[in-house]
Amino acid sequence: MNRYKQAFNIILTIFFLFFSQLNAQKKFVIVLDAGHGGKDIGANRKYDNIGLVQEKDITLEIILKLGRMLERNKDFKIIYTRKIDEYPSLIDRTDLANRSHADLFISVHCNANVKPSPYGTETYVQGPDQNRTNLEVAKRENDVIFLDTKDKEMFASYDPSSPESLIALKIQQSKYLESSLIFGGFVEENFAKKDKRFSRGVMQKNLHVLRLNAMPSVLIETGFISNPEEAAYLASENGQEEIAESIYNSVINYKKKIDRNNQQKKVEEPKEQPLKNDFRILLMSTPNKYNDGDPALKGLNYILTIKENGLYKYYYSVTNFASIKESNLKTAKDAGFKNAAAVSFIPNQNMNTGYYRIEVYAGKDKLPNASPILKNLKEVEKTKADGMFYYTYGEVGSLEAAIRLQKEIEEKGIQNTVIEKVYK
Ligand SMILES: [Zn+2]
């Protein structure tokens, strides 16, 4: 191959990779999970007329039929937890779904009862107590959690152990639950209306295969193997085809609905306008000084402390968006500050009747002359009150200037300082 041809081929490859990448990003990823498999047979019954009916075979047949229908649609990317008679563990199945950043997880099963009479379909979504389990898992496996852009804006840094992150995860889990309920509703509706099946409805239950998923997820019980008539239907080519088609229709209904919702959101929600003032959440006022990470701050980060008339006021976060203010307030209350309240600050306002300074030290003992504070800062003022020594530095007109000054001091290695508001 000559050099030009080689170069041309490289360019072609780059183009191909680039465009296939572009395409891959847009696809709606669906994980199809055929329940059981391999040594795990699932529910099974032996009948005189149709012989041995095994859940693992029926679920695989339905999933393969469903997959073939979905794969014809270029908008979908289909991932199978199994395509043959093998047994991936439940953890393998959810890991695959989470790693694939899937948009929807569909697990197909068959029901069974000790009595032959029960029949019909049911679709399960994550149970009511499951949120907590998910959060526990998410705290450990934080790479499994994919916050969307809006959540990311609200919860700037993701620290899985902080209350802010837990709130973000709770919001995310309830979004998944809502979507799962919508999809589950379509599945049961299609079974009932199209296939004239008896729908037992959409239910919530703590099921292992749904528990760890970071996406809308359902588990469909397609019918009772223990009921002779339904077993024959489940084992038949026609029955499996109908079930696959009903689930396929539900995916289409669901995708249309979320596309419409996203479209509507864009139209209905013009970008939120910022407010004139900044809002901080006042957590508490106390004569006690707490440094970053003190248990009294209950794990909250982004704390600004302002001393005023001898009291330390602890403020959490800052924003000029009303929606974020509300969610910050909720975060503070959920963290345990029941009396937390939003306080408005006029940006860059100069104090007419006083000034701001930085309290660089407060303690029972005088600072030694060799202390880094006295060595690094010139013109530190010392006052004594009620047996305590206070060292302060600087004089600026606005809170913003005080925050900048505090930052400069921090860069010199002086930590745990407090902004003090002084009235003349
Ligand atoms: Zn099963």
Distance 101 CA to ligand 1 centre (A): 24
From ligand 1's centre to the CA of 198, what distance in Å? 19
357 pLDDT above the threshold of 90: yes
Strand partners, 217: 105
Quote the ligand 1 centre to 109 CA distance (angstroms).
4
Å from CA of 111 to ligand 1 middle: 7
57 shares a domain with 96: yes
How far apart CA 240 and CA 407 sit, in angstroms, is 67
C-alpha 36 – ligand 1 centre gap (Å): 6
CA 322–ligand 1 middle distance (angstroms): 47
Q: Considering the entire predicted model, what is its pTM?
A: 0.59
Does any domain span residue 257? yes
Q: How far is the CA of 368 from the centre of ligand 1 (A)?
A: 72
Q: Are residues 35 and 174 in the same domain?
A: yes
Distance (Å) from CA 233 to ligand 1 centroid = 17
3-state secondary structure of 126: strand
* Least confidently predicted of 51-60, 90-99, 109-118, 324-333: 90-99
Distance CA 392, CA 43 (A): 75
* pLDDT average, residue stretch 141-160: 42
Q: How far away, in angstroms, is 189 Cα from ligand 1 center?
A: 21
Mean pLDDT of 345-363: 91
Question: Residue 144's pLDDT band (boundaries 50, 70, 90)?
Answer: very low
pLDDT at 84 over 90: yes
Pairing of strands 76-80, 28-34: parallel
pLDDT at 148 (0 to 100): 44
Which residue among 237, 268, 299 closes a domain?
268
Q: Give the number of other Cβ atoms within 10 Å of residue 312's Cβ.
A: 19
In a domain, 301, yes or no: yes
When pLDDT is cut at 50, 70 and 90, the band that residue 234 belongs to is: very high
Question: At which of 268, 292, 309 does a domain end?
Answer: 268
- In the reported structure, the alpha carbon of residue 53 is separated from the centroid of ligand 1 by a whole-number distance in angstroms of 13
* pLDDT score of 226 more than 80: yes
Q: Are 105 and 218 in contact (CB under 8 A)?
A: yes
What CATH number does the domain containing 78 carry? 3.40.630.40
Residues 133 and 184 in one domain: yes
Q: Is residue 418 part of a domain?
A: yes
Interstrand relation of 51-54 and 76-80 (parallel, antiparallel or unpaired): unpaired
Pair 193, 231 in one domain: yes
CA dist., res. 315 & res. 285, Å (int): 9
pLDDT at 86 over 50: yes
384 and 255 in a common domain = no
CA 221–ligand 1 middle distance (angstroms): 8
DSSP at 144: G
Q: Which of 268, 286, 318 is the last residue of a domain?
A: 268
CA 137 – ligand 1 centroid, Å:
23
Dihedral sign, Cα of residue 99, residue 40, residue 197, residue 204? negative
In the sheet that holds 121-126, the strands lie side by side as 76-80, 28-34, 104-111, 217-224, 121-126, 199-205
Q: How confident is the model at residue 136 (pLDDT cuts 50, 70, 90)?
A: low
State in Å: Cα 306 to ligand 1 middle. Answer: 59
pLDDT score of 134:
53
As a whole number, the mean pLDDT across the chain is: 85
Q: Do residues 59 and 84 make contact, with C-beta atoms less than 8 angstroms apart?
A: no
121 CA → ligand 1 middle, Å: 13
Q: For residue 187, is pLDDT > 90?
A: yes
Model confidence pLDDT, tens digit, residues 376-390: 888 899 999 888 999
| Tokens coding 256 | 């249309």
Q: What pLDDT is attached to residue 78?
A: 96
98 and 39 in one domain? yes
**Whether residue 210 sits in one domain with residue 155:** yes
In the predicted structure, residue 99 carries a pLDDT above the cut 50:
yes
Judged against a pLDDT cut of 90, whether residue 80 lies above it is answered with yes
Same domain, 166 and 284: no
Q: What is the mean pLDDT of residues 247-258?
A: 96
CA distance 315 to 341: 9
Q: Tell me how long the chain is.
A: 424
| 306 and 252 together in one domain | no
Average pLDDT over residues 196-202: 96
What is the 144 CA–ligand 1 centroid distance (Å)?
Answer: 25
- Where in the sequence is the domain holding 319, given as residue range(s)? 278-423
DSSP string of 172-230, one letter each residue = HHHHHHHHHHHHHHHHHHHHHHTT---EEEEEEE--HHHHT-SS-EEEEEEEETTSHHH
Structure tokens at 422: 């002084």
* Residue 291 belongs to some domain of the structure: yes
My answer on whether 210 and 345 are in the same domain is no
40 C-alpha to center of ligand 1: Å? 9
Residue 5 lies in a domain: no
Distance from residue 110's CA to the centre of ligand 1 (Å): 5
Q: Assign 285 to helix, strand or coil.
A: strand
Distance CA 169, CA 388 (A): 44
User: Is the CA virtual torsion 64, 67, 68, 69 positive or negative?
Assistant: positive
Q: How far apart are CA 173 and CA 148, in angstroms?
A: 12
What proportions of the chain, in percent to the nearest 5, are helix, strand and coil? Answer: 45, 25, 30
Q: Among 29-38, 100-109, 164-173, which stretch is predicted with the lowest mean pLDDT?
A: 164-173
Would residue 198 count as lying in a domain? yes
| Domain annotation covers residue 352 | yes
Mean pLDDT score, 17-21 = 52
Task: Report which listed range, 146-150, 185-189, 276-280, is most confident.
Answer: 185-189
pLDDT exceeds cutoff 90 at 245: yes
The number of domains in the chain is: 2
- Do residues 128 and 257 share a domain? yes
**221 beta partners:** 109, 122
How large is the average pLDDT for residues 283-299? 90
Q: What CATH number should be reported for the domain holding residue 357?
A: 3.30.70.1070
Q: 13 in a domain, yes or no?
A: no
Least confident of 122-136, 261-275, 328-342: 122-136
Q: How far is the CA of 108 from the centre of ligand 1 (A)?
A: 8
CA of 48 relative to ligand 1 center, distance in Å: 23
Phi and psi at 133, nearest 5°, equal: -60, -45
pLDDT of 358 over the 80 cut: yes
Residues 295, 248 share a domain: no
